[in-house]
Amino acid sequence: MKIFDLTGRRALVTGSSMGIGFALARGLAEAGASVVLNARNAERLEEAAQTLRSDGYTIDTLVFDVCDAKAVASAIDGFEAEHGAFDILVNNAGMQHRSPLEDFPPDRFDTLMRTNVNSVFYVGQAVARHMIGRGRGKIVNIASVQTALARPGIAPYTASKGAVANLTKGMATDWAKHGLTCNAIAPGYFDTPLNAALVADPEFSAWLEKRTPAGRWGQIDELVGACVFLCSDASTFVNGHTLFVDGGISVSL
């Protein structure tokens, strides 16, 4: 269906050398987009790029730290000047740190907020400035089921993902008039490197399977359809929305 076809569009996916970011990058490439992978580790990023290139996809890389506003702006502006427009941005870079809230280290709180919230602002603003001039663009921010729910030991992460959802609403409110659509995807519990410790915990996995109506962990490929939808012409009048992809956990008791 042409409405989902991304042929001729370029997508930047932050934090895409592994995990959800890599899966989304592959999915966008499968839908026809040329994809620019981003991470801080140049070696790991190039390995990811070579994996996708070997499957026949058009892949570039852009190394920068999403938490450094000046580095972000320099990288985005430089790439656009040399290679052309970003039509799609997927703000995926993020981190987790687990600790009882009363013992949560302040420096880890600052790092977590910079990585999960500031980066969405920095990269979103840098890309949107170019999109606004062209009168079009798609921004997808990766939120979390913790946008709406909390569980012990991750209060700062919950705060950060709530901020991502509300920042997404703000982006849509400010930028829809310029032809941009800005939405978020809120994954539930997925089998990813970020969740490796939980996946390996039989007690937690058993709890999750009982708590989730689908009765299992999500697989990262199950996020691709939502991302392609929000990046394509199929979602031209969807704006400021957070799409939960969570096996039903956020709607059940």
Point out the residues that are catalytic: 157
How far lies 40's CA from each of 23, 93, 144, in Å? 18, 10, 22
Phi, psi dihedral angles at 42 (to 5 degrees): -65, -40
Q: Which of 236, 250, 237, 242 is nearest to 4 (CA)?
A: 236
Task: Say how far apart CA 23 and CA 142 lie, in whole Å.
Answer: 13
Question: Residues 184, 54, 43, 161: what is their CA dihedral angle, to the nearest 10 degrees?
Answer: 10
* DSSP structure string for 53-118: HTTT--EEEEE--TT-HHHHHHHHHHHHHHH----EEEE---------GGG--HHHHHHHHIIIII
Centroid of chain to Cα 154: 19
Which amino acid makes up residue 1?
M
